[in-house]
Amino acid sequence: MLFKKKRKVEELGEIVIPREEIRKEDVKDIEVIKESHGVDLEDEILKKLERLSLTLLLGSGDRETKEKALNMYGRIKFVKAVRGTENEDLIRLFVGMDVTEDFVERLRGKGFIEKTYRLSGVDIKAKDKEEIAKKLEELVKEEFELKDDVREVLSGRPFLVNDERIEIVEKLNELGAFEIYLLPKGWFDIPNINNLDVERAMREFRELTESLPQHIAKFLEI
């Protein structure tokens, strides 16, 4: 996978290896750097995104930005938990991308998805009810999507694990797709830390996200 932002690759290089060790040809392709230096740059990107989300959380005086940053922190944790496993398809399903039928059946068995229908055409004409009913049936496309409560859990937003949600949380935990962490009371009332460049952190977050696979980048959009 090619990096869209060459400058960002060079900056990331400083995290894992000295800048002088990076050859020009090394910054062109992730695989080249992986083989040359034995590092997983996608993991390095996620680590930096995790730090940036905390920068946004602590540096912003705006409650909406703080909440968005905390959502991003939760989503990054989720991506790191499922990346490289078959459960990464949860992200693809979440953002509306195709997944295998076997994976869909597995989620159906756990009660994570529900069947929905939509029409694939709009211009329908018929001479009687029977004919239009038949045409409508032919146009119906069967789809599957994550249930609302599953999407809420995977959205990265903190929420209280109560009796109504404990079952789905336990099932997601079995998949390695859920992490419980404590959120201090009054978290959003913590004053912002001065001298943290929120705009720069937001810009860098977006630029780094572009270097990740499409489904992960879409999942982490801000």
Greater confidence, 37 or 53?
A: 53
What does the pLDDT read at residue 23?
Answer: 45
What does the pLDDT read at residue 18?
Answer: 39
Q: State the virtual CA torsion across 155, 160, 165, 169 in degrees, nearest 10.
A: 60
pLDDT mean over 200-221: 91
Question: For residue 38, which amino acid is it?
Answer: G
Q: What are the residues whose beta carbons fall under 8 Å from the beta carbon of 175, sequence distance 6 or more? A: 82, 87, 90
For helices 41-59 and 198-209, angle between their N-to-C axes, nearest 10 degrees: 150
Greater confidence, 199 or 127?
A: 199
112 has a pLDDT exceeding 80: yes
User: What backbone torsions phi and psi does residue 206 show, to the nearest 5 degrees?
Assistant: -65, -40
What does the pLDDT read at residue 37?
Answer: 55
Residue with tokens 């789809």: 143
Q: Return the beta strands (E) in 84-217 as ranges.
A: 113-119, 140-146
What does the pLDDT read at residue 189?
Answer: 56
Exposed, middle or buried by CB within 10 Å (0-12, 13-18, 19+), for 121? exposed
Average pLDDT for the chain: 75
150 has a pLDDT exceeding 80: yes
> What does the alpha-carbon distance between residue 121 and residue 92 come to, in Å, rounded to a whole number?
25
> What does the alpha-carbon distance between residue 10 and residue 28 come to, in Å, rounded to a whole number?
10
Q: With contact defined as beta carbons under 8 Å apart, do 32 and 6 qualify?
A: no
What does the pLDDT read at residue 213?
Answer: 93
> What does the alpha-carbon distance between residue 108 and residue 114 come to, in Å, rounded to a whole number?
7
Q: Which of 62-66, 128-132, 205-209 has the lowest mean pLDDT?
A: 128-132
Q: Which of 89-93, 116-120, 182-186 has the lowest mean pLDDT?
A: 182-186
Kindly calculate the radius of gyration of the chain based on its CA atoms and give it in whole angstroms.
Answer: 22
What does the pLDDT read at residue 95?
Answer: 92
This prediction's pTM:
0.61
